[in-house]
């Protein structure tokens, strides 16, 4: 289990993330953010314990995403499947997500909420994942954002599963920091 504490003048976050069964214990004053973190945990099969508070909603959403991405990065196995894709309908909304957790941070996607597009961008960047989210249809902002989180979670569930080899022509990338 990866345990992180991230503090700034704006936010205080403690997170525990483990590849598991999708259980979550989330303590955040922002109910929609809490709902999205719980949804991500459930659909990705991650066990997440998270306590977060912050001064502004934007700071809280961004810093929670950063912390979750960093924590999950510590949990990804070298032999992970690496790739995942999912398409999720939610009422009138239909959203698809494709992810590569191979260490190349990149995000492409537009949501009807700039804040939650930023959440996914911050999460993917700190996970060091490529994440593409495409809204195929939808009018209700809540439905579109939630379908995007669910699709991202299901894509991650597939990508983080343990495979039988390192899924790269390069093999496992080794980085050593030198003084």
Any domain includes 169 = no
Please check whether residue 52 is in contact with residue 63, taking contact to mean a CB–CB distance below 8 angstroms.
Answer: yes
pLDDT at residue number 167: 47
Q: For residue 117, which of 103, 94, 135, 99 has the smallest C-alpha distance?
A: 135
pLDDT digits (tens, 9 = 90+) for 121-159: 999 999 999 999 999 999 999 999 999 999 999 999 999
Residue 175 lies in a domain: no
Residue 25 lies in a domain: yes
Indicate which CATH number applies to the domain containing 122: 3.30.230.40
What is the model's pLDDT at position 122? 98
Q: Tell me if 167 is assigned to some domain.
A: no
User: For 77-102, how does the pLDDT look when each residue is reduced to its tens digit (9 = 90+)?
Assistant: 888 999 999 999 999 999 999 999 99
Instruction: Indicate whether 171 belongs to any domain.
Output: no
Residue 171 has what pLDDT? Answer: 59
Domain containing residue 40: 2-160
pTM: 0.92
Stretch 160-167: mean pLDDT: 69
**Per-residue pLDDT reduced to its tens digit, 42-69:** 999 999 999 999 999 999 999 999 999 9
Q: Does residue 47 form part of some domain?
A: yes
Q: Cα(120)–Cα(126) distance, rounded to whole angstroms?
A: 10
Determine what percent of the chain falls in helix, strand and coil, rounding each to the nearest 5. 35, 35, 30
Q: Is residue 178 part of a domain?
A: no
Residues ≥6 apart with Cβ < 8 Å to 73: 126, 127, 128
Whether residue 9 is contained in a domain is answered as: yes
Which among 107, 121, 112 is positioned nearest to 142, based on CA atoms? 112
The domain total for the chain is: 1
**Residue 37 confidence (pLDDT):** 98
Tokens representing 28 are 């955040």
**pLDDT over 50 (residue 33):** yes
Task: Give the model's pLDDT for residue 172.
Answer: 57
């Amino acid at each position: 289990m990866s345990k992180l504490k991230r503090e700034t003048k704006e936010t205080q976050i403690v997170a525990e993330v483990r590849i598991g069964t999708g259980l979550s214990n989330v303590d955040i004053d922002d109910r929609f953010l809490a709902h999205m973190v719980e949804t991500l945990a459930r659909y990705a099969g991650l066990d997440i314990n998270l306590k977060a508070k912050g001064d502004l909603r934007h700071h809280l959403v961004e810093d929670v995403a950063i912390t979750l991405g960093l924590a999950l990065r510590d949990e990804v196995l070298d032999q992970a499947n690496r790739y995942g894709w999912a398409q999720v309908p939610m009422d009138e909304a239909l959203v698809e997500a494709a992810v590569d957790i191979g260490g190349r941070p990149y995000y492409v996607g537009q949501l009807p909420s700039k804040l939650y597009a930023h959440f996914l961008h911050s999460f993917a960047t700190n996970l060091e994942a490529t994440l593409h989210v495409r809204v195929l249809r939808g009018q209700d902002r809540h439905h579109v954002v939630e379908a995007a989180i669910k699709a991202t979670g299901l894509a991650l569930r597939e990508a983080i599963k343990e495979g039988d080899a390192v899924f790269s022509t390069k093999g496992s990338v080794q980085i050593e920091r030198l003084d």
